[in-house]
Amino acid sequence: MAVTSQKIPLVAVCGPTASGKTALGVGLSKAFGGAVISADSMQIYRGIPVATAQPTEEEKCGIPHDLMGFLDPGTEFSVADYCTLAHKAIENAYKDGFLPILVGGTGLYVDSVISDIDFCDCGSTEVRERLQKELSAVGALNLYERLKAVDPEAAKKIEPNNTRRIIRALEVFEVTGIPFSKQNELSRKRPSRYETLKLVVNFKDRENLYKRINERVDKMLQNGLIDEALRVRSDLRENGAGQAIGHKELYPYFDGKCTLKEAAESLKRATRRYAKRQLTWFLRDPSATVLYADTCDVLKEAEAIVAAWLQNFQLEDIALKSAAKAAEIPAKNAAEEAPNVSKEETETAERSQKAAVADDRKFIGGEQQKREVQ
C-alpha cells in the first residue's frame, strides 16, 4: 500500500543498552542517506560521554547526530521538552533531504515521539511546590502510594523512586481531576505525523546481552568513568545527569563503603536490570520488528527490511531523494570514466542501471515477504 507524502517516514532503532543500536543507526544512515536523532534520556547531557556511552566522532562516521550532548548536567528536562525538540529535529532532517532515524533506548521518549503525544500544559507551580515539600516531609514511597490510589495505571509505568514523574502525575490529577494516564490515552487518539518502521534489537540468549553489558562496564572504567563521576558528583547527585547509571553506583566506593570491584559489580547488575526493563518496554509493541543480534547479521537484515519498507513511499518525498540519487551514482560515474561513449549509449546505460536497481529492490521486497524475521 502506497503511503502519501503527508506523513514523514521515520525509522526507529530501539533496544537495550549495549545491544549495538548506535552502530545499527549509523549503518542504516550510510545505506539510506539518514540522519540520527538520539532518543536517550541521559545522552542529552554534555560532559558525561563515558557513563552515557555517547558515540565518538569516529563512531558517528560523518553521519549527522542530533539531540546529543546539548544540555548542561543538572538541568531538569521532561519528556515533553524532549518531544518538542525531537519533532523539530526530525522535521529539519527530513527537509534537508535525510531519512530521519530515531535511535535510543529510552522507551518513553521513543513511543511519545512516534505516537505524537500531545502533552498536557496543565500544571500549577503552587501544587508542584506543595508536593515537593510533602516529598521532603514524608518520602517518595508515601507519594507513590497516593499515586497508586488515584491513578494505578500511571503508577504501573513509573518507578517508585522517580520522584519527578510521581509529582508530575499527582500535579496533573489535582489540577484537572483527570488521571495522568487518561491524559496520555486521550492524546494518543489523534493520528501520528509519522509513518514509522520500528526495529528492536534483542538477543535469543539473554546471557549474550549480559556479557556485552559486563564488557562495556569494564571498558567504561578503563576510559575514565571514575574521574567523570567524581567531577559531576558534588552538585548533581540528586537529579539530572547525576542519576545516570554508571555514576550513582560508584558513590559508595567514593564514600569508602565498598571496594571498586564491588562497585563495578553493582554497576553491572544495575545495568543488566535496566536492560531487562528496556526489553520489557519495547517488546510489548506488536508492531515492532525484532532482530536477534546473536543469530543474524543485524545490519544486513535491517537493510533488507528498510529497503522493502521504503518502497511504500513516493520518491517525491523529500527525505527519499538522497536514496534515489545514491542509486544513480554508479551510472553517472561510469559515464564520467568513459568520455568517448556517445550520449545515446550513456543514456542507455543509465536506464539499465536504474532498471537493475528497481529489480534489486523488488527482489529484496519479495525475499523479505518470504522470510520470517528472526
Instruction: Map residue 157 onto helix, strand or coil.
Output: helix
Which structural domain, as residue segments, surrounds residue 181? 125-187
Tell me how far apart the alpha carbons of residues 232 and 241 are, in angstroms, rounded to a whole number: 8
> Which pLDDT band holds residue 366 (cuts at 50, 70, 90)?
very low
Backbone angles phi, psi at 119, to 5 degrees: -75, 135
- Total Cβ atoms within 10 A of residue 310: 22
Query: What is the torsional sign of CA 50, 52, 57, 59?
Result: positive
Residue 241: the pLDDT is 59
What is the average pLDDT score of the chain? 82
At 119-138, the pLDDT tens digits run 766 678 888 889 999 999 99
CATH number for the domain harbouring residue 279: 3.40.50.300
Say which residues have a Cβ less than 8 Å from residue 2's Cβ, sequence separation at least 6.
312, 313, 314
Which has more confidence, 128 or 60? Answer: 60
Instruction: Map residue 66 onto helix, strand or coil.
Output: strand
Whether residue 240 sits in one domain with residue 107: yes
CATH number for the domain harbouring residue 132: 1.10.20.140
Whether residue 134 sits in one domain with residue 242: no
Is the predicted pLDDT of residue 111 greater than 90, yes or no?
Answer: yes
On whether the CB atoms of residues 34 and 230 are closer than 8 A, the answer is no
Tell me how far apart the alpha carbons of residues 103 and 11 are, in angstroms, rounded to a whole number: 8
Instruction: Map residue 111 onto helix, strand or coil.
Output: helix
256, 280, 300: which is the final residue of a domain?
300
Tell me how far apart the alpha carbons of residues 313 and 320 are, in angstroms, rounded to a whole number: 8
Whether residue 202 sits in one domain with residue 72: yes
Say if 340 falls within a structural domain: no
300, 320, 346: which is the final residue of a domain?
300
At 321-339, the pLDDT tens digits run 555 444 443 333 333 333 3
Per the structure, the count of domains in the chain is 2
> Would you state the cell numbers that stand for residue 43, as one nine-digit string?
545522552
Alpha helices in 203-297, H assignment, sequence order: 206-222, 225-236, 251-254, 260-283
Tell me how far apart the alpha carbons of residues 209 and 291 are, in angstroms, rounded to a whole number: 13
Residue 331: the pLDDT is 32
On whether the CB atoms of residues 162 and 134 are closer than 8 A, the answer is no
CA distances from 86 to 75, 103, 289 (A): 18, 11, 22
Instruction: Map residue 308 onto helix, strand or coil.
Output: helix
- pTM for this prediction: 0.74
Say if 308 falls within a structural domain: no
Say if 142 falls within a structural domain: yes
First to last CA, the chain: 24
Say if 364 falls within a structural domain: no
Whether residue 274 sits in one domain with residue 202: yes
Whether residue 112 sits in one domain with residue 233: yes
On whether the CB atoms of residues 271 and 248 are closer than 8 A, the answer is no
Whether residue 245 sits in one domain with residue 96: yes
Pick from 77, 333, 292: which is nearest to 199 by CA? 292
Whether residue 171 sits in one domain with residue 33: no
Whether residue 48 sits in one domain with residue 144: no
Alpha helices in 96-224, H assignment, sequence order: 107-114, 125-138, 140-150, 152-157, 163-176, 180-187, 206-222
On whether the CB atoms of residues 134 and 143 are closer than 8 A, the answer is yes
At 239-289, the pLDDT tens digits run 555 566 788 899 999 999 999 999 999 999 999 999 999 999 999 999 999
Say if 67 falls within a structural domain: yes
Tell me how far apart the alpha carbons of residues 32 and 265 are, in angstroms, rounded to a whole number: 40
Tell me how far apart the alpha carbons of residues 75 and 156 are, in angstroms, rounded to a whole number: 26
Whether residue 238 sits in one domain with residue 183: no
Whether residue 110 sits in one domain with residue 201: yes
Where is mean pLDDT largest: 231-235, 249-253, 329-333, 349-353?
249-253
On whether the CB atoms of residues 179 and 150 are closer than 8 A, the answer is yes
- Looking up cell 502525575 gives 169
Say if 347 falls within a structural domain: no
Residue 198: the pLDDT is 98
Tell me how far apart the alpha carbons of residues 56 and 369 are, in angstroms, rounded to a whole number: 36
Instruction: Map residue 38 onto helix, strand or coil.
Output: strand
> Which pLDDT band holds residue 313 (cuts at 50, 70, 90)?
confident
> Which pLDDT band holds residue 11 (cuts at 50, 70, 90)?
very high
What DSSP character marks residue 3? B
Instruction: Give percent above pLDDT 70 in the chain.
Output: 77
CA distances from 264 to 149, 209, 219 (A): 38, 17, 11
Say if 332 falls within a structural domain: no
Say if 370 falls within a structural domain: no
Whether residue 209 sits in one domain with residue 63: yes
Whether residue 183 sits in one domain with residue 39: no
267, 300, 333: which is the final residue of a domain?
300
